[in-house]
Amino acid sequence: MKQQGIRRVLIEVSFVWEHGPKKMDVKRVKYFAGYANENDELTDIKRLEAIRAIGLEQRLKEEAIRRAVGGYWVDLPRPRPKPFLAGTWVELLDDEWLVVTPPRFWVYTPKEG
């Protein structure tokens, strides 16, 4: 990440909850040049293609899924449907000594249209 000028990555992971997270899938990946400012998001297409070309994005996705399993619930629905679709954001930083908030699960709600 450091070689690519990436300090922070947010990865959205969706999953089916059925006695634990199942069928985990990465929905979105956001790269940032800084640690805290959302305006530091990297959006240059060529730069993002380069990140994918070297295999970094795939490794980050795999790590995000590994970490997502250890998340915890923020808004577990009542009554709980079985199974149901849920998600989390996993934050990865370029310095492993920095504190990262554990993934917090939430329930995907159907969009009314």
Question: Which pLDDT belongs to residue 37?
Answer: 80
Question: Is residue 87 within 8 Å of 20, Cβ to Cβ?
Answer: no
Helix (H, G, I), strand (E, B) or coil at 20: coil
pLDDT digits (tens, 9 = 90+) for 6-51: 999 999 999 999 888 999 999 999 999 999 888 899 999 999 999 9
- pTM, two decimals, is 0.87
pLDDT digits (tens, 9 = 90+) for 44-87: 999 999 999 999 999 999 999 999 999 999 877 676 678 889 99
Question: Is residue 44 within 8 Å of 33, Cβ to Cβ?
Answer: no
Phi and psi torsions of 75, nearest 5°? -140, 55
Q: Any idea where the domains of the chain sit in the sequence?
A: 2-107
Question: Which pLDDT belongs to residue 79?
Answer: 64
CA–CA distance, 5 with 11 (Å, rounded to integer):
17
Cβ neighbors of 30 (< 8 A, separation 6 or more) are: 9, 10, 11, 41
- Mean pLDDT to the nearest integer, 97-110: 85
Q: Which among 103, 109, 81 has a CA at the least distance from the CA of 24?
A: 103
Question: Which pLDDT belongs to residue 113?
Answer: 42
